[in-house]
Amino acid sequence: MRNILIISIFINLFFSISFGADESFNVTIVISSPIVIGEDQGLNFGSFETSNAAQNIVVEPGDSGSAQFDIAGNEVAASWSVAENSIDMKSGTDTIKVNSFKVSGGGSGNLPQENVRVGATARIKSKQPPGTYIGTATFNVVYN
């Protein structure tokens, strides 16, 4: 019985010794103000007559027809872009493809930003049917 007691004490001492270490660490979170985007003007390619030849109508970010936005949020770095690679403007069943979106300022900077501009290219087919063509694109802003 005495041997069992000695073995029991030895086992308890041996397994109660711990080989390790603890280190505390910080836990943080930053809650940012919501980003607010105001559209001052939509993208406008103007008016053109139908033609026998296909044509590309380009509106650069600095042109008067470019889309214009104001962005508000925390005074930190942010990036902005158009979410889609291309969209279709429609008039009834007829379409015009719009792509090659470009944004002013390289698409990034510190908020707030005023007068951020977006341009693109409208791909008009030969003998494009007359009409008012309308489409929707998504302007996207995220904190870096």
pTM: 0.78
pLDDT digits (tens, 9 = 90+) for 31-55: 888 999 999 999 999 999 989 999 9
User: What are the pLDDT digits (tens) for 76-119?
Assistant: 899 999 999 999 999 999 999 999 999 998 899 999 999 999 99
pLDDT: which is higher, 21 or 59: 59
pLDDT for the residue numbered 30: 83
Q: Do 11 and 3 contact (CB within 8 A), yes or no?
A: no
What pLDDT shows up at residue 31? 86
pLDDT at 26: 95
Average per-residue pLDDT in the chain?
A: 90
CA 108 to chain centre: 11
CATH of the domain at 103: 2.60.40
Residue 136: the pLDDT is 97
Greatest Cα pair distance in the chain: 109
pLDDT at residue 39 in the model: 96
Look at residue 118 and tell me if it is in a domain.
Answer: yes
pLDDT attached to residue 33: 85
Identify whether 16 is part of a domain: no
Q: pLDDT of 63-80, one tens digit each?
A: 999 999 999 998 989 999
pLDDT tens per residue across span 7-34 = 666 566 556 566 788 899 999 998 888 9
Which structural domain range is residue 110 located in?
A: 35-143
Is the residue at 101 inside a domain?
yes
In a domain, 8, yes or no: no
β-pairing, 86-91 with 67-72? unpaired
Taking a C-beta distance cutoff of 8 angstroms, is the pair 119, 98 a contact?
A: no
Counted domains in the chain: 1
